[in-house]
Structure 1
């Protein structure tokens, strides 16, 4: 008795398309995350990148929350694309860029309204509860932007 393994017609094409989509979305997501971090760094007093490299806890918390927020936006932009690769990539880029702008402006406004000296908080070598407020703002605004995509 012999067993033959048969694949459906078009299997390799579908597999290749799926792998290609993963690679393209991963690249778009990476670029958006880098742009998002650069936007946070540019709008933060001092070098956020340097503060993270110096292992300052508050800068790490705020940076990490910003990255998670960006990822939420990218994920829901991909999810909303409905499997259409080119449209999904375009909408992911546009929604991601708009989300970055909205998030950076909104967080900075929140810091101002709450009188949080973000420069001092990020440079503090000791953990500050204010960093959690800023981190929560990043996460919450990321959720708002992400869900608005749907």
Structure 2
């Protein structure tokens, strides 16, 4: 007995549409990650990218946590986007940008409330435990904003 593999008639076009959606959402996600990084850089004392390139441990920890928190927001924005590709891309972009804005404001307010000297912390060549507090704030607030999107 011979068995044949039968694919749905629209399999090929659905596959191409899926690949296109992945690429487009990837571009939106990458764009939002750039915006998120520069939002963190703009609102953090010191030139963040230069501090990271110098390998300063506190700057690396805070930057990495900030990028992870932005990724949470972006992933949830994409996951909860409309099923229509165009509407989904637009809602992902809008929710992602709004989430990044709220995240940056919330982290800055938390840093202000705790009186952490973020600039001094970021520029220190030695690890400072307070950088973990700032990193935790980034991650926690990123999760809160991400869940708020959903």
TM-score computed with the length of structure 1 as normaliser = 0.94
**How many residues are treated as equivalent by the alignment?**
150
| 8 Å contact from structure 2 (residues 82, 91) kept in 1 | no
| 8 Å contact from structure 2 (residues 73, 146) kept in 1 | yes
- 1:6 is displaced (CA, Å) by 2.9
Structure 1, unpaired ranges of 5+? none
Name the stretch that deviates more: 71-80 or 46-55.
71-80
SS of equivalent to 1:23:
helix
| 8 Å contact from structure 1 (residues 59, 122) kept in 2 | yes
TM-score computed with the length of structure 2 as normaliser = 0.94
- 1:120 is displaced (CA, Å) by 0.5
**Which deviations, in whole Å up to 9, do the C-alpha atoms of 1:86-125 show, x marking residues without a partner?**
1111111111111111111111111111110000101111
Q: Name 2:37's counterpart in structure 1.
A: 37
| 8 Å contact from structure 1 (residues 77, 88) kept in 2 | no
Q: Does 1:105 align with 2:105?
A: yes
Give matches, 1:11-90, under 5 Å: 11-90=11-90
* Residues in 2 aligned to 1:126 and 1:132: alpha-carbon distance in whole angstroms: 13
- 1:83 is displaced (CA, Å) by 2.8
- 1:128 is displaced (CA, Å) by 1.1
Q: Does 1:93 align with 2:96?
A: no
| 8 Å contact from structure 2 (residues 107, 137) kept in 1 | yes
- 1:4 is displaced (CA, Å) by 4.1
What is the alpha-carbon root mean square deviation over aligned residues?
1.3
| 8 Å contact from structure 1 (residues 52, 59) kept in 2 | yes
